[in-house]
Amino acid sequence: MAKVKCAIIGSGNIGTDLMIKIMRTAKNLEMAAMVGIDPQSDGLARAARLGIPTTHDGVEGLKSMPGYGDIGIVFDATSARAHVANDAALRGDGKKIIDMTPAAIGPFNVPVVNLDDNIDAPNVNMVTCGGQATIPIVHAIKQASGRVIYGEIVASIASKSAGPGTRANIDEFTETTSKGIETVGGAEKGKAIIVLNPAEPPLMMRNTVFTLSQGGNREAIEKSIEEMAARVKSYVPGYRLKQKVQFESIGDNAPVNIPGIGPCSGLKTTVFIEVEGAAHYLPAYAGNLDIMTSAALATADLWAEKVQARELV
């Protein structure tokens, strides 16, 4: 069965790591183009050495490449601002666009939560690295409890793994992740915080999830979290729970005030997650970048599989 050809816009760390993942591990994808704007970038140089067609003229350069018409999927690993222009340029050409920026033009997509709902969307957004790591956990708690009043996540990443794109999109990170906690995770109120940790040697990506829920019980919630972590690990091998899930009862006699909702009681759940990168291109501590490329690859691979199945019918 022929593989679906794909292109990557953005020849930085994320784009280059994704390119190597596609070449090494993709089941249904084939690299057809690597696109950048810096002719001296390492990503373009590596792609050229691997025999992949390249252009440093951005999305317009991609559209003028001889094989553009055969490309079915375009990954955008640039920035939120650049994606708006890239989406406008590609929208009418029938490409499946996988947005790895916080632009969020298309619906939020977290493979283990709502990929099936978004399978026919022309543009899907991969939320953020913190969102990919934590939204599945919020969703798991919602499944086991029935109501998640509040979800807060703190994503701590090594400063060295935060490139220019990440640093330029800090505001978008917090806004996009907060919305994803609500719309995909199922929390009524979401909040996201990102910490760039300058420690040496660099630390692995760590994520802390706090929720306040009602309904369910501790055993069911813990089981749901563990099962969800195993599902994420199926496409992000370095994803793991760092320690046992922690619980604390918040009684009616000492409720917490949730902005926009008011005083609430319930069960506070705290989950600690670590993400180790696969070190395909980036160092192992850059789990924040690895989980984005892994989630995007999982999304595209399944989409390509479904497209091929439809063509056989």
Quick one: angle between helices 287-312 and 129-145, nearest 10?
Answer: 70
- CA quadruple 105, 293, 227, 202: dihedral sign: negative
Q: Which of 173, 163, 263, 156 is nearest to 208 (CA)?
A: 156
Measure the CA–CA gap between 44 and 33, rounded to whole angstroms: 10
State both tokens at 147. 């109501």
Q: Which of 70, 99, 118 is nearest to 8 (CA)?
A: 99
Identify whether the C-beta of residue 19 lies closer than 8 Å to the C-beta of residue 52: yes
Residue in 112, 113, 127, 129 annotated catalytic: 129
SS (H, E, C) 110-157: CHHHHCHHHCCCCEEECCCHHHHHHHHHHHHHHHHHCEEEEEEEEEEE
Kindly state the DSSP code that residue 252 receives in the 8-state scheme.
T
Measure the CA–CA gap between 40 and 136, rounded to whole angstroms: 38
DSSP string, 53-118: -EESSHHHHHHTSTTGGGEEEEEE-S-HHHHHHHHHHHGGGT-EEEE-STT--S-B--HHHHTGGG
Which 3 state secondary structure label does DSSP give 224? helix
Q: Which of 258, 121, 276, 110 is nearest to 205 (CA)?
A: 276
Q: Which helix (H) or strand (E) holds 292?
A: helix 287-312
264 in active site: no
Cis peptide leading into 66, omega within 30 of 0? Answer: no
Just list the catalytic residues. 129
